[in-house]
């Protein structure tokens, strides 16, 4: 029950209501708040209760740790379940998480996330669907699934394709670039791309949170919101990203990359592709292309569940998690080991396209 978590420092998610604000604090610092099943269930229960509670007018999501907001889902636990042949339990975890993501995306009240430090994978899923994504100068965001033999998920394939931001338009090409390269977005990148809606310096986050809960989000933003001091590095690559990644299949992107005139951009992309799983790259492009055309986040999440469950049942997921998260040797041996050997049609067929 939700009430059992209130006031318990050992709880994985701390929950309370202050004034008109329901406050969820991710509290698994030793794992950088990696979301496990219990955390997903606590957050889901709170969202359900507060949506129908007139005393709660807004929801605030933060971390109890200054080391980071959320490093993703508990991939190691899923790895262990899959290694034991318990695939259905992993399927259930992702189904629960994706229901939570969809609820966040369709929530009837403002949801404010304070992103201070790392925000990857599942951390993006628990923050970026909300109405207000407030980042500090210490924040960075990334979707690193290509390195572990998985695919981008938590609704990111639709959300990243729909962001407007300072660039002024939605871009499936940008979503493909971000997911394939695991680009580490700075606060300035997040603003430009549309991932972040506001910026508050880390030194003022506590005061911002207090004012938000006392006087409301608009008053707090007026008092504390500013702009990142950096310029977006991502923005410098805008034309190249559109030229190369605005293609429906990886083979087309590869051809565009080979012909692209900006050699520095090509070298940068090639460098980021090192260590990625070819199957994940090819499958992810098919997935993002389909989800960018999806009618809503729920349809994109369904696509992600189908694709992710399929890839988890291959040796590449086990190998990728071993190399990146368990042994940390970064020496994964993926099969096949080249893009040309991956049949993109197989992954289009999974999505019915």
CA angle centred on 245, ends 230 and 276, rounded to 5°: 85
The per-residue pLDDT for 10 is 76
Mean pLDDT estimate for the chain: 96
The answer on pLDDT for 2 being more than 60 is no
The mean pLDDT value for 157-170 works out to 96
pTM, two decimals, is 0.95
Over residues 40-51, the pLDDT tens digits come to: 999 999 999 999
The per-residue pLDDT for 66 is 86
Which H/E stretch holds residue 91? helix 87-105
Over residues 293-337, the pLDDT tens digits come to: 999 999 999 999 999 999 999 999 999 999 999 999 999 999 999
Give CA–CA dist 334/83, Å, rounded: 17
The tokens for 28 are 């698994």
DSSP for 210-246? HHHHHH-HHHHHHHH-B--SSPPHHHHTHHHHHHHH-
CA angle centred on 139, ends 144 and 103, rounded to 5°: 70
Torsional class of 14: left (φ above 0), alpha (ψ -120 to 50), beta (otherwise): beta
CA distances in angstroms from 226 to 113, 149, 197, 204, 220, listed in the order given: 16, 38, 11, 11, 11
Give CA–CA dist 331/91, Å, rounded: 27
Over residues 208-245, the pLDDT tens digits come to: 999 999 999 999 999 999 999 999 999 999 999 999 99
Q: What is the number of other CB atoms lying within 10 angstroms of the CB of residue 310? A: 14
Over residues 246-271, the pLDDT tens digits come to: 999 999 999 999 999 999 999 999 99
Cis before residue 190, ω within 30 degrees of 0? no
Candidates 3.30.565.10, 3.90.226.10, 3.40.50.880, 1.10.1040.10; correct CATH number of 2-348? 3.90.226.10
The mean pLDDT value for 281-287 works out to 99
Question: How deeply is 300 buried, as exposed, middle or buried, from its count of CB atoms within 10 A (0-12, 13-18, 19+)?
Answer: buried
Nearest partner of 184 among 71, 328, 331, judged by Cα = 71
Domain boundaries, the chain: 2-348
* Secondary structure (3-state) at 117: coil
């Amino acid at each position: 029950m939700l009430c059992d978590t209130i006031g318990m420092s050992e709880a994985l998610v701390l929950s309370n209501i202050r004034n008109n604000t329901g406050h969820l604090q991710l509290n698994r610092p030793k794992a950088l708040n990696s979301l496990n099943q219990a955390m997903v269930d606590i957050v889901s229960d709170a969202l359900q209760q507060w949506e129908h509670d007139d005393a709660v007018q807004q929801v605030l999501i933060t971390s109890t740790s200054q080391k980071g907001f959320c490093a993703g889902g508990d991939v190691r636990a899923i790895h262990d379940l899959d290694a034991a042949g318990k695939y259905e339990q992993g399927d259930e975890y992702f189904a629960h998480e994706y229901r939570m993501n969809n609820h966040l995306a369709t929530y009837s009240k403002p949801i404010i996330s304070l992103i201070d430090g790392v925000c990857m994978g599942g951390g993006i899923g628990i923050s970026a669907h909300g109405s207000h994504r407030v980042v500090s100068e210490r924040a960075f965001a990334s979707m690193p699934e290509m390195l572990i033999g998985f695919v981008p998920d938590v609704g990111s394939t639709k959300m990243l394709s729909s962001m407007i931001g300072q660039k002024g338009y939605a871009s499936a090409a940008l979503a493909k670039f971000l997911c394939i390269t695991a680009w580490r977005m700075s606060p300035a990148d997040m603003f430009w791309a549309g991932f972040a809606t506001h910026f508050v310096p880390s030194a003022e986050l506590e005061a911002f949170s207090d004012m938000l809960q006392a006087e409301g989000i608009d008053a707090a933003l007026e008092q504390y919101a500013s702009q990142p001091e950096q310029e977006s590095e991502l923005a410098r690559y805008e034309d190249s990203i559109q030229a190369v990644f605005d293609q429906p299949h990886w083979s087309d992107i590869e051809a565009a990359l080979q012909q692209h005139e900006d050699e520095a951009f090509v070298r940068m992309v090639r460098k980021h592709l090192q260590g990625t799983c070819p199957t994940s790259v090819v499958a992810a492009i098919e997935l993002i292309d389909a989800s960018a055309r999806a009618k809503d986040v729920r349809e994109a999440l369904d696509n992600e569940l189908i694709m992710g469950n399929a890839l988890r049942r291959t040796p590449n997921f086990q190998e990728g998690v071993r190399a990146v998260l368990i042994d940390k040797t970064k020496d994964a041996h993926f099969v096949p080991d080249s893009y040309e050997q991956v049949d993109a049609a197989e992954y289009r067929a999974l999505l019915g396209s």
